[in-house]
Amino acid sequence: MMKELLLAIAFTVISATAALAAGDLPGQAATTNVPGSDYPRVLPDRRAIFQLKAPEAHSVAVEIYGQTYAMAKGDDGVWSVTTPPLVVGFHFYSLILDGVHVNDPGSRTFYGTGIDSSGIEVPETGVDYYHKQDVPHGDVRIRLYHSKVTGKWRRAFVYTPPGYDDHPNRRYPVLYLQHGSNEDETGWTFQGHANLILDNLIAEKKAVPMIIVMDNCYAMRPGDVGQDPQIESPLRPNFPAFEAVMLQDVIPMIDATFRTIPDRDHRAIAGLSMGSNEALRVGTGNLDKFAYIGGFSGGMNGLHTDPLDPATAFGGRFKDGAAFNAKVKLLWLGMGTAEPKPFPAAIGAFRKMLDDAGIRYVFFSSPGTAHEWLTWRRDLHAFAPRLFK
């Protein structure tokens, strides 16, 4: 029974390989495809070609970057479409097959939007800071740990920089780096390429060697329901215990396991979107533990755009700007210029409050990118060189 299945797969792969060898296909198979898959493809002008063999289907479309493109059926039962030029970077996408959002079998999957979703990388010409290069590479360790706070086993991805194993007496600073809503601890490695970004920065001596801890932001105590009232995300409402997990479980585990420099001057926290809210909240609420704090595409006010008064907002922790500035070595906010509502107004309201309080921060703007991974790769690439110096 399984043999037939395996042989069917074999013939599929062999015929795909033969087509590739013929060299008659335009552009390049996306780097995000499964091995041997010729589709989707990206053309030199950033148009993409999507295909699906579906002889019995009534309609097939691709949904990417907020747009839906209908696919046309060929005589061979293969549906296809060539999109307009796409924005560079990594995009989640779906095929819509007779009304159902499904993955493209030609694509690798990446956990985001709450599912293991298809994704496509549209190359940026002349940019290689998040590519594998001929430099020393750190490891990303998949680490299990038991949380006293949640009572469950949890998983962190931990980047150790090149040379970590070769210098058993050397100690390192640590960046705690959070994912966004409906993502998990894998995102910064598999979509964000945080490890490659740091490998390249360290090789260029633009960033100091550091450990990066990528944990899962979702955390509930036994019996917890609902969401953190300080963040009010409309998304998966189950991270009320994140701060406790970070302070009581993760940081002590990391400091006990890895050769860290366990003080605030050598500890940073950052995150993206929902993770930005969490990083800013945990960071600014625990200035005895963190000296560097970064928010990528998010403030501390969730999706709210109302004005914030530094005297009262967030328990008044921003009201004394001079005291805040004296303690915090770096406060960083970033976003893409193409981010959709309500992010510009929400982040704008948060920045206005910081400005009103006289708080210093770096604002980073990513040209042409939306609420997506390329914005956050660019954030990390610009943020990491400012840490621990």
Site for a copy of itself in 278-337 (CB under 8 A): none
* End-to-end Cα distance, the chain: 61
Q: Is 188 in the site for a copy of itself (CB under 8 A)?
A: no
Closer residue to a copy of itself in complex, CB, 44/252: 252
Closer residue to a copy of itself in complex, CB, 13/382: 13
**Which range touches a copy of itself (CB under 8 A), out of 6-14, 121-129, 242-250, 284-292?**
6-14
In contact, 104 and 96? CB cutoff 8 Å: no
CB within 8 A of 326, min separation 6: which ones?
none
Print the binding letters for residues 335-374 with a copy of itself: x by CB under 8 A, - otherwise: -----xxx---------------------------xx---
Dist. CA 102–CA 39, nearest whole Å: 15
Q: Which of residues 58-77 bind a copy of itself (CB under 8 A)?
A: 58, 65-67
48-53 and 78-82 strand pairing: antiparallel
**Which of 73, 143, 304, 317 lies at the binding interface for a copy of itself (CB under 8 A)?**
143
**Which of 47, 87, 105, 356 lies at the binding interface for a copy of itself (CB under 8 A)?**
105
Print the binding letters for residues 204-233 with a copy of itself: x by CB under 8 A, - otherwise: --------------x------x--------
**Which range touches a copy of itself (CB under 8 A), out of 50-58, 202-210, 278-286, 377-385?**
50-58
Closer residue to a copy of itself in complex, CB, 224/320: 224
Cα→Cα distances 160→165, 195, 245, 281, 367, Å: 9, 9, 21, 26, 30
Report in angstroms how near the CB of residue 55 gets to a copy of itself at its nearest.
Answer: 6
Dist. CA 216–CA 113, nearest whole Å: 15
Dist. CA 194–CA 377, nearest whole Å: 7
Report in angstroms how near the CB of residue 82 gets to a copy of itself at its nearest.
Answer: 21
Closer residue to a copy of itself in complex, CB, 306/355: 306
CB within 8 A of 313, min separation 6: which ones?
301, 353
Q: Which of residues 30-49 bind a copy of itself (CB under 8 A)?
A: 34-36
Dist. CA 341–CA 304, nearest whole Å: 11
Two tokens, residue 110? 């990446």
# binding residues, a copy of itself (CB under 8 A) = 76
Q: Could you write out the DSSP letters of every residue in 130-173?
A: TS--SS---EEEEEEEE-TTTSSEEEEEEEE-TTTTT-TT--B-
Print the binding letters for residues 164-183 with a copy of itself: x by CB under 8 A, - otherwise: -x--x------------xx-
Q: Which of residues 115-134 bind a copy of itself (CB under 8 A)?
A: 115-116, 132, 134
At residue 352, what are phi and psi to the nearest 5 degrees?
-55, -40
**Which of 27, 237, 321, 385 lies at the binding interface for a copy of itself (CB under 8 A)?**
237
Q: Is 20 in the site for a copy of itself (CB under 8 A)?
A: no
